[in-house]
Chains A and B, each alone.
Chain A
């Protein structure tokens, strides 16, 4: 059968990896032992690349909630909320989220990816303008594509560059949608959110902040960077995910706008997707309650992040950002990063290999995500595995 020419580039990358004999994008975890341990290729492995920031996946209360919902409400909803109807728990989770953020209302989506697709494509369309950070996640880029809006990138974390581009829009600037992330997933660096809020206010625009990697991680209540920077009231829409600090799957948006009443009906990724399963909703509601009170977990997470950051820095590695739940080691060249990643896996440490174009600055990364559930011994073992690499330290 004829090969699709559109897949030529992907086939070339797959062939390149096969030639080296390493496949970083097809890792199979044969057994999950805990939030921080798994068995891979028969080896006990420390999981340091799963975004399980609070270790919520094995929380006994969350598991009990999921089990109860599974028994009482079945395995799935078998369709979308528009077509099949919502379960009461879907709406209850939305009200929980709205209360957690102190916002008027919330919409739950089936994944975090779909939350961005669903919100962006409902908020803007052809003829409208979206201003996005150059290092935005693929879900933001894809949301803009789905929307068909005029999409303008500004330099990463550069509020002055955003302001310059807003000025070029003239009167249209007031209708623009600005999108930034709280913490960027590749390097773990934070947005200068107060500066972006200043620009938003100067032009009367709308601001959407994706807190996927900061919810549950930052802030006294775990609301994310907007809480830390004291600007939650100025953020029009907060988008987030259940698949990181909440240990499940799904996504959401909260906001104060009156448009929240009707946005979901204009959002194709909301309308035409099966809704989340009852067990997922139940576990997420429990996880959200626990996340809010989890000051101790956030402190442990920060202590782990600082220990990993300091340990890797002491070994001479270049790191992506200040200590944070994402600790990225900059490796530079792709093949070197691939071999380094494989060495770590064979040493019993799983991290993420990230290569261009998914990474900023055309650099390959070994990205660690730290969990509150990691022990100091595990953090030290991660550092030791990095330290045992004999290749280039970049």
Chain B
């Protein structure tokens, strides 16, 4: 299955790189909303190269909310390659374990403009996660690899 995942990633990346079609648009001043695995986000283009994003991710008893910044290498193309960073505040209440935490995530990825408004994006990178439970003050920390997929809709 790992191999299958690598194939998907490779195909998508090659697809991104192999289709440098100018769509006569860029990310400057664009506002978009997105949904993913599972997260929701609001994205805004500060310039053609830089975008910021507020995002919230949720799972059974876990919420992570934070912000992202993207640097877009080729913002005027259908397939935009980016790098970026994300910081999140975490709160959790799973069974009888309750606490808070922090996440720092660095990523590389791409966003593919299926139409001028609809995009598909993926990113992958290392996340440093720190969580602490309230009752006994135990904590856990360390690096984990994270892979995200999502879709975005831009309003203009």
Asked if A and B are interacting partners, one says no
